[in-house]
Amino acid sequence: MTGERKVSDLSSRLKRPGKITSRSSKSTPPISAPPKAAIASGKAKKEDLHRRKNPFNEMLLQKSGKNTSSSSPSTPDENDPHVRKSSMESIKSTQDVNSADRIAELERALVAAQEGQQVLKEELDKVRQHELVYREAMEDYKRQLTGTYNSRPGSPLTSPHMEYEQETEQRRSFNKQREDLIEQNYELRGKLAELEEQLVEQDALYRAKIDRELSKGQEEWNELTGRLHHSEKESQERLQQLLDLKHSISALTRMESQVTDSELAEKMDQLYHRIREWIISNFRRTKLGFNDLPKDTIKVLESINPNYTKIDATDRLAFYQSIISSTLMHLFKEPIYIGLPESGPLAPIRQLAAYIHDAGSDYREWRRTTIRALEKSPAKQQLDQEKDKLLHRLSSQIQHQLFSITSINLTHQAQSALIGILNTAAELQHTMLLQKAQYKIHFFRDQGHGEVYYNGSKMDSINDEEVDEDEIVERRFIFCVFPLLEKFGDEVGENLEVRNVLLKARVCCGVGSTPQYLI
């Protein structure tokens, strides 16, 4: 127990530097004056140095002295050799244990002392740094004071008391200015609050005024809207009356199924462009080939141009269009109704039309009446079927002829588009057959005798090249690409000697020129 108490006393004495460490870890207050440790001399006496170097030796000496003093009193049994020997062995073992404990305690004390020494070194470094900062601050303050004194060259040296009074006066003036600014701030805040109150009041007044005006304007708006609806209703009623009047007038003086010349020309021109686009989309990359052609194809090509083998490759697309236009003439030459059979009970109608077609306006009136009667009769379904058969037969002929010279098989979509073109041509012919005026569609054909010449009033060349303005161009007809639409007489079919070209024929020409200088 005595040994443990001594060890605890020694450990408590050796652990005191830890408290110093904890104290030193706290933040130091700002330094107003250099610390004594920084001002004290760095030299130490030899005795202090010797004591610092051997603190553990003194502790060991004190410990051994206490042990000897505690073991000095003797008992009567110490004179016995056996007792003495056993006591010596126990003392020896106790000393060994105490020495081991003491060594461990000394090692721990050594570590704690080293840590405390390191902490003291750090504190010393901090103190030195604070001293440097303090000195720099003092020097800056001295320089500032020196600059202040130098800025007053005419003033005599003042005492510290006067300097203090000046500083106090400056502080008073600063405080006064600060109080004035604070007071101004409060005044401005008060004015701002007053302005905000005025703004809120004015806003409320304006809002109330606007609401009153809006309510008044809404009433006026509702009144005007009601009047507008009433006016629109009256206008619709009067418009309906006008339409009824027009309908009654047109019913008395109407010309059924009549269209204007411009509408017919526009439909004809649209048909031309549809054929052209269809040819370009399906045959723009093809080449002409006239080897081993069937006889029927040769016959069709010769009807277009007897010298078809000499057609330039650049005109091949126009030549393809010419083949389609030549086939469309089977539809445009129909005198009565497209799809009218050549045999059966309806065949005599076609024969009758061939006999009376020179009857003028009476023939056209009979034709219109016959067409309307056929459309309203049970034969309408049969006529439509015959019309579809005719269109498919013409489509097959066109495909066969184009395949013979291009070796191109058309897709299903292209075939459907071709049927649509033929159907459009059939509807156009049906419309012209219902007109009172007389129209003619003419496809120019060169039979090899040079009997077709270029006529600018009836033809448009689609392959003209750029020529100089000082040259007279002489065009040579090669083949027709799209037919001519011409009207004879007036709207009711009278005055047939008057002719009017509604749409010029598209033709392909060869160009020859002779220089003719203008004067």
Residues 450 and 229: their CA atoms lie apart, in Å, by 73
The pLDDT of residue 400 is above 80: yes
pLDDT band at 411 (very low <50, low <70, confident <90, very high): very high
Nearest to 300 by CA among 443, 449, 414, 429: 443
Nearest to 487 by CA among 425, 427, 432, 428: 432
Using only the alpha carbons of the chain, give its radius of gyration: 64
Q: Residue 288: in which H helix or E strand, if any?
A: none
pLDDT band at 519 (very low <50, low <70, confident <90, very high): very low
Mean pLDDT of the chain: 78
Q: Residue 472: in which H helix or E strand, if any?
A: strand 471-482
**Residue 304 DSSP class:** H
Q: What is the model's pLDDT at position 34?
A: 46
Q: What is the model's pLDDT at position 375?
A: 87
Q: Tens digit of pLDDT for each residue in 360-389?
A: 788 888 988 999 998 888 888 999 999 999
Q: What is the model's pLDDT at position 5?
A: 46
* DSSP, residue by residue, 231-249: HHHHHHHHHHHHHHHHHHH
Most confident of 98-107, 441-450, 477-486: 477-486
Q: What is the model's pLDDT at position 58?
A: 53
Q: What percent of the chain has pLDDT over 70?
A: 75
**Residue 306 DSSP class:** T
Most confident of 47-56, 232-241, 355-364: 232-241
Specify the range with the lowest mean pLDDT, choosing from 43-52, 129-138, 260-269, 425-434.
43-52
Are the C-beta atoms of 279 and 320 separated by less than 8 Å?
A: yes
Tokens of 85: 């020997």
Nearest to 56 by CA among 129, 114, 95: 114
Amino acid at 290: F
Q: Tens digit of pLDDT for each residue in 75-90?
A: 444 455 665 666 677 7
Q: What is the model's pLDDT at position 159?
A: 64
The β-bridge partners of 510 are: 476
Q: What is the model's pLDDT at position 398?
A: 94
Are the C-beta atoms of 433 and 367 separated by less than 8 Å?
A: yes
Domain ranges of the chain: 1-25+51-65+91-148, 181-248, 261-515
- Cα-based distances in Å from 272 to 131, 186, 421, 503: 108, 91, 10, 11
* DSSP, residue by residue, 422-453: HHHHHHHHHHHHT-SSEEEEE-----SSS---
User: Taking residues 213-217, what's their average pLDDT?
Assistant: 85
User: Taking residues 334-358, what's their average pLDDT?
Assistant: 86
Phi, psi of 438, deg, nearest 5:
-105, 125
Q: Tokens 């309203």 belong to which residue?
A: 376
* DSSP, residue by residue, 196-224: HHHHHHHHHHHHHHHHHHHHHHHHHHHHH
Residues 161 and 385: their CA atoms lie apart, in Å, by 132
Are the C-beta atoms of 350 and 335 separated by less than 8 Å?
A: yes
Q: Tokens 């020997």 belong to which residue?
A: 85
pLDDT band at 200 (very low <50, low <70, confident <90, very high): very high
Are the C-beta atoms of 340 and 349 separated by less than 8 Å?
A: yes
Q: Tens digit of pLDDT for each residue in 99-136?
A: 888 888 898 889 998 888 888 988 888 888 888 887 88
User: Taking residues 217-231, what's their average pLDDT?
Assistant: 89
Q: Tens digit of pLDDT for each residue in 89-106?
A: 777 777 777 888 888 889
**Higher-confidence residue: 309 or 246?**
309
Q: What is the model's pLDDT at position 68?
A: 46
Tokens of 340: 């009218």
Q: Tens digit of pLDDT for each residue in 23-53?
A: 444 444 444 444 444 444 444 444 444 444 4
Q: What is the model's pLDDT at position 515?
A: 34
Q: What is the model's pLDDT at position 149?
A: 54
Q: Tokens 């199924």 belong to which residue?
A: 257
Specify the range with the lowest mean pLDDT, choosing from 72-76, 262-266, 484-488.
72-76
**Higher-confidence residue: 71 or 166?**
166
The pLDDT of residue 417 is above 90: yes
Tokens of 502: 């509604």
Nearest to 370 by CA among 401, 344, 337: 337
Handedness of CA 412, 418, 422, 427 (dihedral sign): positive
**Higher-confidence residue: 37 or 227?**
227
Residues 248 and 134: their CA atoms lie apart, in Å, by 117
The pLDDT of residue 449 is above 80: no
* Residues with Cβ within 8 Å of residue 141, at least 6 apart in sequence: none
- Alpha carbon 266 to its chain centroid, in Å, reads 42
Residues 36 and 112: their CA atoms lie apart, in Å, by 26
**Higher-confidence residue: 120 or 495?**
120
Q: What is the model's pLDDT at position 505?
A: 94
pLDDT band at 12 (very low <50, low <70, confident <90, very high): very low
Report field, pTM of the whole predicted structure over 0.75: no
